[in-house]
């Protein structure tokens, strides 16, 4: 039965009703309405807190109450809109408007009277149902959880394999079978993990996928979450993405099949198909044909809860049924969650054992209840869960367990969770968008002026995440959650509790629309005609995840109660003027569409809070009427082609997120002063700063007062060079951000010096800085920034020396760049010297620097001492720069790329005995290599790529005793490899590509497991299976790939 949660709506409605007080003169109707809402809210809150089971009467009572509350909410909206229009009315029409408002006020009073009568009837109906008595007789409510403890994924934090040791061994044996064994006829084996939902199939598959032996046994590992939609195109694209590290799109299945089979051919791969439902044998046969291109020993492992699917996909030979866990293992798992490190309570342990027995051996049930009880310490709380009647059989175990967690949510979280039913299964939910959707639907209230709605909603999200209603979170580089997903079973629960209020229309069978529906998602693969949902007159949220509409369907405009309209990526080219009729709209998503303009009628959307326009590349300007959207909170215009911002943006006093602020030249463009009154948060990009003409207004932007801004971009456009450098310097000087800023990006600045606020380094919270195409003569003193982790510098031709000023105050004993882990220097063609920072002859800088990239600095001849540097990449650099590497004793990876002057590898580098990976790429004039290699004792991976003049390899390579992988690619003149490989006793993989002059291989060691030869015509003949002169030299290698094909020189391609 659907769960009717109404108390949060009544609370919000009661607070909003105050806006009608003046209009109604605090008369009898108003007072009765307030009294009724108070009584109903209290009663509904008590009813909702109880697990009322299948009490149909109470359920219908709540639904009726919610229906009337929605109507009252619309009424309040209507009055507030009238009040906003009155506030902005000009004097000329004031009298006329006054007459209209008097009429409208009368209508509102009449509607209010009707609603008040309905509320009275409902209150009497609740009394007649003896709701208060019912509530008092129910089991004592377990208080809502107050979760403050961070949690992580099922596998990373909690061993997902309690009691699965035997299963792991058996599945590992099935995966690592010897494909060359004489009694094995299959080239690619298919294994199916079969079991009921929540049994732990996916978790065990993930553990096996990441098992060390499994990783080492396969050349390629691919994980595809299939879900209910067995989409061959999506599966193929996932395989190609993992194999090629790039996204590819194909117009037809033939081309797709060719690409997949080419990538899998000859490779020993493992492909996991997780959560398979499809019973279409034809599609599986197509997939099996693709997989047959793989080398012997390849494996496909799928998880499914349908034994029939598993049977025909494995031909009955690779079935593995995952059984329920024994109670002892479940108890160990449960204890780790419910008790943690806290001392055990004997009485709670007894109850806990009974609870575990009710879980029926399902890890998901154990996980859910154990996590829930980790916040409960009272015996009566545990008894309440033990006595719950919902989990009455194994067949229906998981959903009741999840429903139990839902029952213990406070009402405001229940409606937030139920709202998530609008998303399709396996959908990646953007956290920021979800928060804004909750606010748009009126689910979020702030109890304090200092706490914004977004902060309250973020707390809601975290609490739901900590209770495992969300999973698979994606984290950005700063540790913030960007996206999450819902487990399919949890999504089923959301649909269950949402009931008739929400519907996902995904096929013809789901097109029965109730007139009471409030939220619809269109996900039908062929699209759904908007006319099919016309009956949903009370719709509040409409999501279109399918279909293409060049013009917004008129039918959508008939849903006059809409709060949310999501049309992202639906191909819309034009937004009609009638969009302004959706007066209740709070959230409008037009991102990834082709719209060129937004009609001025958008001014009528006075309630609009979020306008999403990201990646609307054809959108050149915003409507002037945007200044009328007085409730706008989020204006998202990333990757648009806007030339300016319209004036009046500063009037939007609730605006807290505007992803870009573009300055224009025209008189009606917004100026920086408009930012002054906005309390912005998150990221702000101020663009086209060359258009600033009034310095006085720059200071009025008041960036230093914006304590909620965490990321700031300041950029000058293509015409920045036409602006006086001193003017640019003054502008930047006056744009000092607040000290809480974490990310600063500066681009196109043509001043000769950086501002004083960068020199004095007051921005102590900066963690990432980028300086791009700046004309300054020296770098700013960033060395004393205590938290700076990532520094990117590109295109600064005026800098000749990186001197002591870069490190900060040279007279201090503080370590410079104490937290920096990554530094990139690009395109600094006149950089001659990079001085180190030392005290008493010892380096006191870069203690944490792990990765350094230097590219396009071809006059730089030396690097400073960086004691703990592990990864170094040199591109388009001076060959003398290599001589300074002798001091970098901690290097583990070194890449030398595009250095045409380099003729030989320096002998002095042989002391770099910690290097495990060395790459030489596109060094056209390299003629000799490694004349002294005795020191490279740790080298495991050597790549020599596109060194066109290299004719032979030196005998010194025999000293690379730790070498495991050796790549030689694009060395067109390489004709000889000396007999060195017999000394490379650990070599496992040898790849030789595009070396047409190479006519033979030396002795191949017995350790080699993989040999790849591509486009080496002379070698191909000598290594032909059973026939080639050198076949005996390689026949012992388990994996051999020889790809024939005519060699085409790079210069001939063009």
**Distance (Å, rounded) from C-alpha 774 to C-alpha 776?**
6
Q: Which run of H or of E encompasses 234?
A: helix 232-244
What percent of the chain lies above the pLDDT cut of 70?
Answer: 85
Q: Which run of H or of E encompasses 254?
A: helix 253-264
Q: Give yes or no on whether 586-807 and 892-1053 have one common fold.
A: yes
Report CA dihedral (601, 603, 605, 611) to the nearest 10 degrees.
100
pLDDT tens readout for residues 985-1015? 999 999 999 999 998 899 999 999 999 999 9
Residue 98 confidence (pLDDT) above 70: no
Order of strands across the sheet with 471-475?
429-430, 481-485, 471-475
pLDDT of residue 247: 76
**Stretch 652-661: mean pLDDT, rounded?**
93
What is the SS3 assignment for 86-152?
HHCCCHHHHHHHHHHHHHHHHHHHHHHHHHHHHHHHHHHHHHHCCHHHHHHHCCCCCCCCCCCCCCC
Residue 917 confidence (pLDDT) above 90: yes
pLDDT of residue 228: 67
**Stretch 724-752: mean pLDDT, rounded?**
93
Lowest mean pLDDT among 734-743, 750-759, 834-843, 994-1003: 834-843
**Distance (Å, rounded) from C-alpha 51 to C-alpha 137?**
12
Six-digit token string for 64: 């009726």
**Distance (Å, rounded) from C-alpha 348 to C-alpha 223?**
41
Neighbours of 517 (CB within 10 A): 21
Lowest mean pLDDT among 277-281, 570-574, 623-627, 660-664: 277-281
pLDDT tens readout for residues 452-482? 999 999 999 988 887 768 878 888 877 889 9
User: Phi-psi region for residue 26, left (φ > 0), alpha (ψ -120 to 50) or beta?
Assistant: left
pLDDT-derived band at 131 (thresholds 50, 70, 90) equals low
pLDDT-derived band at 93 (thresholds 50, 70, 90) equals very low
Q: Is the dihedral of CA 43, 48, 53, 56 positive or negative?
A: positive
Q: Which run of H or of E encompasses 8?
A: helix 7-16
Residue 933 confidence (pLDDT) above 70: no
CA 676 to chain centre: 32
pLDDT tens readout for residues 267-280? 899 999 988 877 77
Six-digit token string for 839: 């005290």
Q: Which of 813, 821, 755 is nearest to 784 (CA)?
A: 813
CATH T-level assignment (fold) for domain 164-321: Rossmann fold (3.40.50)
Note whether 837 and 843 are within 8 A (CB).
yes
pLDDT of residue 808: 84
pLDDT tens readout for residues 182-239? 444 457 889 999 876 677 888 899 898 988 888 888 988 988 888 767 788 888 888 8
CA 628 to chain centre: 33
Residue 132 confidence (pLDDT) above 80: no
Residue 141 confidence (pLDDT) above 50: no
Residue 381 confidence (pLDDT) above 70: yes
Given the candidates 3.30.420.40, 2.40.10.480, 3.80.10.10, 3.40.50.300, the CATH classification of the domain at 586-807 is 3.80.10.10
Q: Give the contacts of 450 (CB within 8 A, at least 6 positions apart).
A: none
pLDDT-derived band at 150 (thresholds 50, 70, 90) equals very low
CA 30 to chain centre: 47
What is the DSSP-derived secondary structure letter of residue 510?
Answer: G
pLDDT-derived band at 749 (thresholds 50, 70, 90) equals very high
**Distance (Å, rounded) from C-alpha 372 to C-alpha 574?**
49
What is the DSSP-derived secondary structure letter of residue 580?
Answer: G
Q: Give the contacts of 904 (CB within 8 A, at least 6 positions apart).
A: 926, 927, 928, 929, 931
pLDDT of residue 367: 80
Domain boundaries, the chain: 7-137, 164-321, 327-407, 586-807, 892-1053
Six-digit token string for 565: 């309209």
Residue 1045 confidence (pLDDT) above 70: no
**Residue environment code for 484-501, b if the CB has 16+ CB neighbours within 10 A, otherwise e:** bbbbbbbbbbbbbbbbeb
45-54, 137-146, 245-254: range with highest mean pLDDT = 245-254
pLDDT of residue 54: 62
What percent of the chain lies above the pLDDT cut of 90?
Answer: 37
CA 516 to chain centre: 34
What is the SS3 assignment for 930-962?
CCCCCCCCCCCEEEEECCCCCCECCHHHHHCCC
pLDDT-derived band at 429 (thresholds 50, 70, 90) equals very high
Q: With 0-12 CB in 10 A as exposed, 13-18 as middle and 19+ as buried, what is 1026?
A: exposed
φ, ψ of residue 924 in degrees (nearest 5): -60, -35
Q: Which of 867, 811, 631 is nearest to 83 (CA)?
A: 631
**Distance (Å, rounded) from C-alpha 472 to C-alpha 485?**
6
**Distance (Å, rounded) from C-alpha 991 to C-alpha 743?**
42
Q: Three-state SS for 669?
A: strand
Lowest mean pLDDT among 90-94, 304-308, 911-915: 90-94
pLDDT of residue 25: 58
pLDDT of residue 778: 93
CATH number for the domain formed by residue range(s) 892-1053? 3.80.10.10
**Distance (Å, rounded) from C-alpha 607 to C-alpha 609?**
6
pLDDT of residue 372: 76
pLDDT of residue 390: 31
**Distance (Å, rounded) from C-alpha 679 to C-alpha 452?**
11
Q: Which run of H or of E encompasses 9?
A: helix 7-16
| Mean confidence (pLDDT) of the chain | 82
**Distance (Å, rounded) from C-alpha 985 to C-alpha 544?**
60
**Residue environment code for 711-724, b if the CB has 16+ CB neighbours within 10 A, otherwise e:** bbbbbbeeebeebe
pLDDT-derived band at 554 (thresholds 50, 70, 90) equals confident
User: What are all long-range contacts of 593-597, with beta carbons under 8 Å and residues at least 24 apart?
Assistant: 593/567, 593/568, 593/569, 594/618, 595/619, 596/620, 597/621, 597/623
**Stretch 560-581: mean pLDDT, rounded?**
91
Q: With 0-12 CB in 10 A as exposed, 13-18 as middle and 19+ as buried, what is 312?
A: middle
Lowest mean pLDDT among 501-510, 615-624, 991-1000: 501-510
pLDDT of residue 448: 66
pLDDT of residue 707: 92
Residue 17 confidence (pLDDT) above 80: no
**Distance (Å, rounded) from C-alpha 439 to C-alpha 416?**
10
Neighbours of 661 (CB within 10 A): 25
pLDDT of residue 24: 55
Angle at the Cα of 319 (from 313 to 323), degrees rounded to 5? Answer: 130
pLDDT tens readout for residues 438-455? 999 999 987 766 789 999
pLDDT of residue 930: 64
Residue 153 confidence (pLDDT) above 60: no
**Stretch 759-779: mean pLDDT, rounded?**
91
534 vs 415, residue with greater confidence: 415
**Stretch 383-388: mean pLDDT, rounded?**
70
């Amino acid at each position: 039965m659907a769960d009717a949660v109404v108390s949060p709506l009544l609370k919000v409605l009661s607070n909003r009703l105050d806006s009608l007080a003046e209009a109604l003169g605090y008369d009898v109707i108003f007072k009765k309405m307030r009294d009724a809402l108070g009584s109903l809210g209290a009663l509904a809150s008590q009813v909702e807190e109880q697990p009322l089971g299948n009490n149909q009467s109470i359920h219908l009572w709540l639904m009726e109450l919610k229906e009337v509350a929605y109507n009252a909410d619309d009424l309040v909206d209507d009055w507030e809109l009238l009040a906003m229009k009155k506030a902005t009315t000009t004097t000329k029409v004031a009298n006329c408007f006054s007459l209209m408002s008097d009429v409208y006020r009368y209508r509102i009073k009449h509607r209010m009277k009707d609603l008040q009568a309905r509320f009275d009837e409902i209150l009497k109906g609740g009394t007649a149902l003896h709701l208060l008595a019912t509530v008092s007789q129910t089991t004592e409510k377990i208080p809502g959880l107050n979760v403050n403890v961070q949690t992580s994924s099922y596998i990373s934090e909690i061993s997902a394999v309690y009691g699965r040791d035997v299963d792991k061994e058996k599945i590992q044996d099935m995966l690592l079978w010897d494909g060359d064994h004489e009694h094995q006829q299959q080239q690619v084996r298919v294994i199916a993990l079969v079991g009921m939902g929540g049994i732990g199939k996916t978790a065990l598959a993930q553990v096996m996928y990441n098992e060390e032996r499994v990783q080492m046994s396969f050349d390629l590992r691919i994980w595809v979450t299939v879900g209910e939609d067995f989409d061959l195109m999506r599966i193929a694209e996932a395989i190609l993405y993992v194999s090629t590290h790039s996204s590819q799109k194909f117009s037809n299945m033939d081309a797709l099949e060719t690409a997949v089979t080419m990538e899998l051919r000859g490779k020993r791969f493992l492909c996991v198909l997780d959560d398979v439902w499809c019973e279409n044998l034809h599609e599986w046969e197509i997939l099996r044909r693709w997989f047959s291109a793989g080398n012997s020993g390849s494996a496909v492992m799928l998880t499914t809860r349908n034994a029939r699917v598993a049977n025909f996909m494995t031909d009955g030979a690779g079935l593995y049924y995952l059984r329920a866990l024994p109670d002892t293992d479940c108890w160990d798992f449960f204890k780790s969650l419910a008790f943690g490190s806290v001392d055990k309570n004997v009485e709670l342990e007894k109850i806990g054992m009974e609870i575990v027995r009710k879980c029926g051996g399902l890890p998901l049930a154990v996980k859910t209840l154990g996590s829930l009880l980790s916040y409960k310490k009272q015996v009566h709380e545990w008894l309440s869960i033990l006595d719950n009647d919902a989990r009455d059989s194994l067949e229906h175990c998981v959903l009741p367990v999840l429903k139990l967690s839902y029952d213990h949510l406070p009402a405001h979280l229940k409606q937030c969770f139920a709202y998530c039913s609008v998303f399709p299964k396996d959908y990646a939910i953007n956290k920021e968008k979800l928060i804004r959707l909750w606010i748009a639907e009126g689910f979020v209230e702030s109890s304090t002026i200092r706490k914004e709605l977004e902060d309250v909603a973020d707390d809601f999200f975290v609490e739901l995440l900590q209770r495992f209603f969300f999973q698979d979170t994606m984290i950005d580089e700063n540790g913030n959650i960007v996206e999450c997903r819902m487990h399919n079973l949890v999504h089923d629960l959301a649909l269950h509790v949402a009931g008739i209020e929400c519907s996902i229309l995904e096929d013809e069978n789901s097109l029965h629309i109730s007139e009471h529906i409030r939220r619809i998602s269109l996900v039908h693969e062929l699209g759904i005609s908007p006319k099919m949902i016309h009956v949903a007159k009370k719709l509040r949220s409409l999501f279109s995840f399918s279909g293409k509409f060049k013009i917004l369907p008129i039918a959508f405009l008939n849903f006059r109660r809409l709060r949310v309209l999501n049309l992202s990526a639906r191909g819309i080219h034009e937004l009609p003027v009638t969009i302004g009729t959706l007066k209740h709209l709070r959230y409008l998503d037009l991102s990834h569409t082709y719209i060129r303009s937004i009609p001025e009628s958008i001014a009528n959307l006075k309630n609009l809070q979020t306008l999403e326009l990201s990646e609307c590349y054809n959108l050149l300007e915003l409507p002037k009427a945007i200044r009328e959207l007085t409730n706008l909170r989020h204006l998202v215009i990333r990757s648009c082609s806007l030339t300016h911002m319209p004036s009046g943006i500063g009037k939007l006093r609730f605006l807290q997120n505007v992803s870009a602020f573009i300055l224009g030249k025209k008189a009606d463009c917004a100026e920086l002063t408009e930012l002054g009154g906005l309390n912005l948060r998150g990221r702000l990009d101020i663009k086209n700063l060359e258009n600033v003409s009034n310095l006085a207004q720059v200071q009025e932007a008041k960036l230093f007062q914006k304590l909620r801004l965490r990321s700031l971009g300041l950029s000058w456009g293509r015409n920045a060079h036409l602006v006086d450098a001193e003017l640019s310097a003054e502008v930047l000087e006056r744009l000092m951000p607040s000290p809480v800023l974490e990310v600063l990006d500066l681009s196109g600045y043509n001043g000769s010096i950086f501002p004083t606020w960068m020199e004095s380094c007051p921005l102590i919270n900066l963690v990432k800085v980028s300086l791009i195409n700046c004309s300054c003569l020296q770098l700013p003193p960033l060395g004393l920034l205590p938290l700076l982790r990532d520094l990117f510098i590109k295109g600064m031709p005026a800098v000749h020396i990186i001197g002591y000023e870069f490190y900060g105050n040279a007279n201090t004993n503080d370590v410079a760049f104490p937290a920096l882990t990554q530094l990139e220097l690009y395109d600094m063609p006149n950089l001659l010297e990079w001085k180190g920072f030392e005290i008493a002859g010892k380096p006191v800088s870069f203690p944490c620097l792990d990765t350094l990239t230097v590219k396009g600095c071809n006059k730089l001849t030396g690097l400073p001492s960086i004691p703990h540097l592990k990864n170094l990449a040199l591109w388009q650099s001076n060959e003398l720069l290599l001589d300074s590497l002798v001091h970098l004793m901690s290097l583990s990876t070194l890449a030398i790329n595009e250095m045409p002057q380099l003729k030989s590898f320096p002998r002095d580098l042989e002391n770099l005995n910690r290097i495990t990976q060395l790459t030489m790429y596109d060094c056209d004039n390299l003629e000799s290599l490694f004349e002294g290699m005795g020191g490279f004792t740790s080298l495991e991976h050597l790549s020599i790529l596109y060194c066109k003049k290299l004719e032979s390899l030196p005998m010194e390579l025999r000293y690379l005793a730790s070498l495991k992988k050796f790549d030689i690619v694009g060395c067109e003149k390489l004709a000889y490899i000396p007999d060195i490989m017999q000394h490379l006793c650990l070599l496992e993989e040898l790849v030789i590509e595009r070396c047409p002059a190479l006519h033979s291989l030396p002795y191949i060691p017995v350790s080699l497991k993989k040999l790849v030869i591509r486009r080496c015509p002379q070698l191909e003949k000598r290594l032909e299976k059973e026939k080639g002169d050198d076949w005996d030299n390689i026949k012992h290698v388990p994996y051999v790939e020889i790809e024939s094909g005519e060699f085409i020189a790079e210069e001939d391609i063009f």
